[in-house]
Every structure is written in structure tokens, then in C-alpha cells.
Amino acid sequence: MWITSVNLLDMTNKLTTEERRRRRFTEAFRKEQVEIIESGLATQAEIARRYEVRPYTVLRWVNKYGKKRPTQGITMVGSPVDFDRTKQLEEEIESLKILYGEQQIKVVRLEKLVELYKEKLGEDLGKKV
């Protein structure tokens, strides 16, 4: 069942770069290799080495023909306590951002007051060295 039409498994001599460039794998062959990977008989890296193709090429085969599609984005693994703590920290970060923004507004107002004081009274309230 897992015998391929082109038996490259028993190759003792390596293909030249030109020979590798000219190879084209049939769709049936690619699907068969994906089945082997998904059944756990071989890894993507093993298939790539076996047929002297780039690992990314095998990954594209798996993405295109595989039944077990990789999930997009980040998969988080953890306990409910971890998720609760993460949510709590995210809320704390948001409240700190708001507080920081309010403090920045106060600083700008105070700087403007110092400028107005300097204009009206001609005195500098800045730090004296």
C-alpha cells in the first residue's frame, strides 16, 4: 500500500541539483506521502530527506492534501487558573494604561501653567542648578 511509483527510498547515490530541479511529483504521490505523515509512519522531515526535497515543500503538501489541517493562530495550553490569571493581568494592564494617560495629561497641564507663569510674571519656576 505504501509502495511508491518511484522508489527513491533505496537510492544510494544522491541526485544532482539539476536532477532535483527537473523532478515533478504526481498529485497521487504527494497525497500518499501526506497519508504516511498523518498516519505517523514518517515525519515531514523524514519524507523531505528521503526524497531530497525541501522541508517546506513537504509542509505545503500537508497543508494542501492533508486531512488534519493545522490550526491557524496561537493555540494556548493551560489550566483555567492560568487563563483567569492572564485575564486579570490584561485588565490590570488596561487600567494602568488609563492611569498613565491621565498622569500624562496632568504633566502637560502643569507644564503649560509654568509657561503661563513665566510669561505673566517673568520668573522661571524651573529647577535651579
The answer, yes or no, to whether residue 46 has pLDDT greater than 50, is yes
Domain spans in the chain, listed from the N-terminal domain onward: 17-65, 77-129
Q: Report how far residue 95's alpha carbon sits from residue 100's, in angstroms, rounded to the nearest whole number.
A: 9
Angle of helix 55-65 relative to helix 27-39, nearest 10 degrees, comes to: 90
Q: Between these two residues, 12 and 16, which has the higher pLDDT value?
A: 16
Of 35-44, 83-92, 97-106, 118-127, the one with minimum mean pLDDT is 118-127
> Radius of gyration of the chain from Cα atoms?
32
Q: If pLDDT is split at 50, 70 and 90, which confidence band does 1 have? A: very low
> What span, in angstroms and rounded, lies between the C-alpha atoms of 30 and 48?
12
pLDDT band at residue 88, thresholds of 50, 70 and 90? very high
Asked if residue 47 lies in contact with residue 33, where contact means CB atoms within 8 angstroms, the answer is: yes
Place of cell 504526481: 26
- For residue 118, what are the contacts with CB-CB under 8 A and spacing of at least 6? 124, 125
E-strand stretches of 21-101: none
| Separation of CA 74 from chain center | 8
